[in-house]
Amino acid sequence: MSAVVAVIPARGGSKGVPRKNLRRVGGVPLVARAVAAARRCPEIDRVIVSTDDADIAAVAAEWGAEVVERPVELAGDEASSESAVLHVLETLDPDADAIGVVVLLQATSPFLDVPALGDAVRLVRSRRRDVVFSAVETYGFLWRRATGDAAEAVNHEASARPRRQDREPHFLETGAFYVLRAKAFRVTRHRFFGSVGITEVAARTAIEIDTEDELAVARALAPLVDRPEPLDVDAVVTDFDGVHTDDTALLDQHGVETVRVSRSDGMGVSLLRRAGVPMLILSTEANPVVTARARKLGVDVVQHCDDKAAALRAWAAEHRLPLSRIAYLGNDVNDLPCLEIVGWPVVVPDAHPRVRAAARVVLDTPGGDGAVRDLAERVLSARDAAPAASLPGSGVAAAPTKENP
């Protein structure tokens, strides 16, 4: 049987939201979210990212996608998504017999509904439809600006205001996915042809990111839409103040500083060490308290660090750890550079608002009261979970689906 291939166009030159495909929602780059969603769909055989950008290519490959280099002439502002998909098909399948179904996935739709995507693929594979796309049902009264900027009704009579239950629903494209019969698409060179069907998705998943405001909305929605995931990592890196402590310090009359730490955190670190999980404490300040605590816990420590992200990269390289397999636990804005490069940015519940917005996981326990133990238990629980649950990415609960001819 011919393959089902998902293609994610992800050029590097976005204007409205610079570096858009690498911007994070729920702590995960947009292109990585799309790759992870496609890999979770059992009906999809291969996941391809088409890009002209080396950074996007690296992230895509790290999250498990194949990468096809996108020619410069297909990566400009005027280039269509169809052109990128056609280039991938011609590159992978020049004889047009190996790929039966192609799925256009948009990384700018961060909340891809995987069960709905699977339904759409099955409709096309069964030949009941040539094209199926994601949409949300709407009963909205639509208007347009007519001659002289006057308002004009589009989908209703302005003089009649029927009740919702008496109105015919319409469907709005979400832009998240389009499932196409590959051979016919190569002929028509457009995403709509033949018999077209709709797969309905939940309205909460329908946001499409084209502006900074929409990115901010998506980040606010992520904790409400994304399913909790096993915190599947190979290493743990933490800040110190506000994470191992409650971010306060006591000074005596001689200027000696002391802090309060949690014995529960000590046990959490011990459990991580027994499980063979490398750990690092990374601190901006140089403080004997940090040195003493790291020695007590038996973990690596880097202090007096002006560039925490560079120090984290160096430590990861030394231990041959991919950044996508590291959890970083922080609480304040100086942790943002580290949170933005790891696969699992984790924060304490009282973290700075900008830091919370960057998180993939917000812990239940505050710093100094067992936050590190909370993180350790999640990491160890993920190691006991089924392998299928460990795939990185965000999940979306299935919406009731129906197909509309």
CATH of residue 65: 3.90.550.10
* Pair 218, 293 in one domain: no
What's the sign of the alpha-carbon dihedral 41, 211, 207, 151? negative
The mean pLDDT value of the chain amounts to 91
- Given a cut of 70, whether residue 285 has pLDDT beyond it is yes
* Pair 102, 31 in one domain: yes
Q: Is residue 390 part of a domain?
A: no
- Given a cut of 80, whether residue 290 has pLDDT beyond it is yes
Q: Is residue 403 part of a domain?
A: no
Dihedral of CA atoms 299, 304, 307, 308 in degrees, nearest 10, equals 30
- In this prediction, residue 1 has a pLDDT band, given cuts at 50, 70 and 90, of low
- Given a cut of 90, whether residue 250 has pLDDT beyond it is no
* Pair 173, 220 in one domain: yes
Confidence at residue 219, expressed as pLDDT on a 0 to 100 scale: 94
- Given a cut of 80, whether residue 125 has pLDDT beyond it is yes
Phi, psi of 373 (to 5 degrees): -65, -40
* Pair 210, 343 in one domain: no
What is the span of the domain harbouring residue 93?
3-225
* Pair 65, 132 in one domain: yes
* Pair 177, 304 in one domain: no
pLDDT digits (tens, 9 = 90+) for 9-50: 999 988 889 999 999 999 999 999 999 999 999 999 999 999
* Pair 218, 239 in one domain: no
Phi, psi of 319 (to 5 degrees): -95, 5
* Pair 371, 241 in one domain: yes
Phi, psi of 147 (to 5 degrees): -55, 135
Q: Is residue 182 part of a domain?
A: yes
Domain of 243, CATH number, reads 3.40.50.1000
* Pair 93, 51 in one domain: yes
Q: Is residue 378 part of a domain?
A: yes
Confidence at residue 400, expressed as pLDDT on a 0 to 100 scale: 39
Q: Is residue 230 part of a domain?
A: no
* Pair 204, 240 in one domain: no
* Pair 117, 252 in one domain: no
- Tokens representing residue 182 in the block: 């590959």
Confidence at residue 22, expressed as pLDDT on a 0 to 100 scale: 96
* Pair 30, 116 in one domain: yes
Contact 393, 33 (CB under 8 A): yes
Domain boundary among 203, 225, 247: 225
Q: Is residue 212 part of a domain?
A: yes
Q: 111: Cβ–Cβ under 8 A, 6 or more apart, which residues?
A: 176, 204, 205, 206, 207, 218, 221, 225, 226, 394, 396
Q: Is residue 365 part of a domain?
A: yes
